[in-house]
Structure 1
Amino acid sequence: MALRHLLGACLLVATVLPSAAADDALTLGKAVAKAIADNPELALGRYRDRAADALSREAAQPPPLDLGLELENVGGTGQTRGLSGAETTLLLSRILERGNKAARRRGLAEGRGALVRTEADIRRLDLLARVARRFVHVVRDQNLLAVAEKAVALARRARTQAQRRVEAGAAPASEAARADIALADAELELEHAEHELKATRVSLASLWGERQPGFRQAAGDIYTLPQPDELETLVAALEQNPQLRRLADKQRIANARHRLANAQRYTDITVSGGIRRREFTDDNAFIIGLSVPLGSDQRARPGIEAARADAAANRHEREAARRELYAVLYGRYQELKHARTELDTLRQRILPAADTALADIRNGYTRGRYSYLALADAQRGLIEHRRRAIRAAERYHRHLIEIERLTGSSAAAVDKDYTP
């Protein structure tokens, strides 16, 4: 089921932290369990499912028996004065349906029930995707906060070096002022990162009704990238897309409506039987009746044509949705590959080179070989590349979550060759 696949794929994002504070850490599995436990949208689906089941049972019922009582020749004059000439008829009648109408109604009701369940699945998938996205956002902001703290530490170290050079007369006072400005900027970025993390934590906790998050941190390694299936496999799995399943349910409902409309061509027969009492003659007699409406075939034609047109429209709607989903899937898949390429390049080539360059420039700055501008530029470049790597990893997870929503297939393997 798509719900299970999405959860299985998303759980690959989370890894339990090996610290003593692991009990305070929130895994993605716990976040999903909390969100599902008491979600009003999911409760809504359960009640609608019960209602659909009840309507299905109602639709399968045959027409009820009809009990009638007629009193004639009363309250008149002469022999019909009072009740002396009354004729009393007790009649029991029932419609005998032709064309298997009860089964057609039940089929239509069951189709509507399947649509209700599919829509409940869609709501569950939407909830899971929201949990996964917000969980990844929290992990991203935790990493960005760590980078902001690293940036402050680098700025403080550079300011100390600049002050020493100014005090030694090896640099103008403006160099220390620039270092102070850079430190203030880094501290502002740190404050912004703290606020961003607070907001994303509250956003995640709100999914299970907490205004103040009860977890200290999200336990996840953003650099662990689950490996998706090949594009051809994902395209084949598009038929499991919840929106396509919903349109398939609508198609079945349209077909059921068409079958029920066709059944209306068959004339129903009303049979009746009862007893008649004649007070004037003190006689009793049995009554048997039969009635058949005329023109049923002609009256059924507009409903048949409407149901046929509705079924054809649903087929075209589903095909249009399938083509659009392929375009969206293809785009997401390409963005996923690009995010991985960007992250691999940053972590394997750019970040190691930026670390080496910063260490060399820092040592050279102490000896007067490089200017403060070169040191500040090297520090800024390293920090920006680290942030870029975090955002690339976040985009990868975000695209993977959306691919899971589109296909319902599981990204069941982590690339073993990738070392985070």
Structure 2
Amino acid sequence: MQTRNIVATLLSGSLSIFNWAKSTAPPNTVPSTSARFKRIGFRKLILIGLILCGQFSLAQAEATNNALTLNTALKRALEQNPSLKVFDFRNIALGGQLETANLKPAYELGLETENFSGSDELSGFDGAELTVSLSSVLEMGDKRAARQGIVSNGRSVLDAQRQVESLALLGEVTRRYVDVLTAQEQVSLAKEADELASQTLNIVAKRANAGATPDAEVKRAQAAASQAHLTLLSTQQQLEYLKVSLAALWGETSPNFAKIDGDLFHFGADVEFEMLYAKVEKNPAIQIFAAEERLKEAEVRLAKTQSRADISWSVGVRRFQESDNSALVAGFSMPLFSSKRNSGAVSTALAQRNEIFVQKEVALLNMHTQLFRAFHNRKQAILTVKELQNTIIPVLEEALKETQAAYQRGRYGYLEYVSARQELLSARRTLIESASSALTYGAEIEQLTAEPLSAEQYGESTELSGSVQ
């Protein structure tokens, strides 16, 4: 279609040149072709040729740049969607937590004064004792490594969450892409319905002028033509909204594409259900449970390290004002029965870790149900599409031709003619809806398995899961 438009532009431009050259000839003369081109002039020909070349290049560029492919849409969404940018900040936050986890216990500087401002010989500071000390804590049970393990495993969970969000985003892009592709087909069908309604109105009007049908049928045909045109306008408006909705996934408020490329009726090769379900365990939504399990194991290790009591130590110098002497002081302390007091925290951490195993099993069961539903619904939708394409629609097209011919000869009434037309349009509408359902269920299968369903899906090669990494 785009190539035909470009050729038509070139032919139209050439015809304009010829007509303009002809108009420059003197009155009552028919100049030869060579004389006309001599009159135009060599420079003018060059200028016109450049204009035509520019029109051809512009038309070719528009044909190339205004069509959006699914791969381009997926790439734009991954690069520009605002919802994925939060993970950069979460990663920075984990970096800060790791810095904190790497810190050793802080040193404390202490100053203590005793035996001052008392009574008699202890009045003032003459009998005071002044102590300057440095203290800290010796961490026992490898607590520092346990803290580092929590941050490290937290980063693994964050990476899995990013993949889950990315996969969900790619699935949403694919679904909206299919919606736009469906709307494009619906606009084409609405245009065909509008043309059929106009054609019907012309046929009914001719029969009414010949006195073969009442004027009431003409009015009914006029109303049907108006309704078909309104349906076309509504479908075109819906297409524009869906394009805006698709562009919003990469942060644009107005789409910079005129249409999208793809084949609504191309589904690729089928894959066995068992092969698809075997890929479900590789889904980031399942892998995130493995990352959370490792995180909970790290939390259990940290809780167990708290059962080992830390040793507090201090060392310093004490000054005796009364004797003008100094002496070293040192000490240490540790809490008693730490293991018993920490048993509750260990039990809590173990219970939270075991809960992850159950959640993983529940998630696998739910995903099996979703995959089974999507797999069989897609299969049924593809079967419906093939039956409509190969059997139902060809029969209805022949029936419409025969009914129209019979109506023009007066053998059928207006109702039979309109019914045949509506049956054909309804079948084509069902064809579009079934094809859209098949692609939508295919996108759901891709999201559940984290892999493209087929290299031929959507009429082009897409790498859904590869884009998530």
TM-score (norm 1): 0.89
Partner of 1:181: 223
1:244-277 per-residue CA deviation (whole Å, 9 max, x = no partner) reads 2333333222222211111111122122222222
Shift of 1:149: 0.4
Partner of 2:82: 40
Partner of 1:11: none
Structure 1: distance between partners of 2:80 and 2:119: 74
Unaligned runs of 5+ in 1: 1-17
Structure 1: distance between partners of 2:267 and 2:454: 11
On the 8 A contact 1:228/1:413 being kept in 2, the answer is no
Amino acid at match of 2:211: G
Shift of 1:378: 1.7
Distance change (3 Å), C-alpha of 1:39 and 1:78: farther
On the 8 A contact 2:108/2:136 being kept in 1, the answer is yes
Partner of 1:278: 320
Q: Within 5 Å, give how 1:4-403 maps onto structure 2.
A: 21-227=63-269, 229-403=271-445
Farther-moved stretch of structure 1 (122-131 vs 385-394): 122-131
Shift of 1:295: 0.9
Amino acid at match of 1:146: S
Structure 1: distance between partners of 2:246 and 2:157: 29
> What's the Cα RMSD here?
2.3
Shift of 1:231: 1.3
Q: Secondary structure of 2:279's match?
A: helix
Amino acid at match of 2:272: E
1:27-72 per-residue CA deviation (whole Å, 9 max, x = no partner) reads 2233233333333221211101110122123123222222222222
Partner of 1:14: none
Farther-moved stretch of structure 1 (348-357 vs 30-39): 30-39
Structure 2: distance between partners of 1:342 and 1:110: 51
Structure 2: distance between partners of 1:415 and 1:406: 16
Structure 2: distance between partners of 1:360 and 1:281: 128
Count of paired positions: 400
1:9-30 per-residue CA deviation (whole Å, 9 max, x = no partner) reads xxxxxxxxx9962321222233
Structure 1: distance between partners of 2:344 and 2:203: 88
On the 8 A contact 1:98/1:263 being kept in 2, the answer is yes
1:370-420 per-residue CA deviation (whole Å, 9 max, x = no partner) reads 33222212211111111111111111121111112212122243289xxxx
Farther-moved stretch of structure 1 (239-248 vs 97-106): 239-248
TM-score (norm 2): 0.80
Amino acid at match of 2:214: P
Structure 2: distance between partners of 1:139 and 1:412: 18
Structure 1: distance between partners of 2:392 and 2:87: 50
Shift of 1:134: 1.4
Structure 2: distance between partners of 1:406 and 1:79: 85
Structure 1: distance between partners of 2:117 and 2:268: 89
Shift of 1:367: 2.5
1:405 aligns with 2:426: no
Unaligned runs of 5+ in 2: 1-59, 459-469
Structure 1: distance between partners of 2:310 and 2:185: 72
Amino acid at match of 1:322: L
Structure 2: distance between partners of 1:165 and 1:269: 106
Farther-moved stretch of structure 1 (26-35 vs 297-306): 26-35
Shift of 1:152: 0.7
On the 8 A contact 2:167/2:450 being kept in 1, the answer is no
Q: Secondary structure of 1:413's match?
A: coil
Amino acid at match of 1:173: D
Structure 2: distance between partners of 1:227 and 1:276: 86
On the 8 A contact 1:242/1:406 being kept in 2, the answer is no
Structure 1: distance between partners of 2:178 and 2:200: 33
Structure 1: distance between partners of 2:386 and 2:407: 31
Amino acid at match of 1:360: E
Distance change (3 Å), C-alpha of 1:369 and 1:143: same
Q: Which has the higher contact order (CA 8 A, sep 6+)?
A: 1
Q: Structure 1 vs Structure 2: percent identity of aligned residues?
A: 33
Shift of 1:334: 0.8
Shift of 1:100: 1.4
Q: Which has the larger radius of gyration?
A: 2
Amino acid at match of 1:323: L
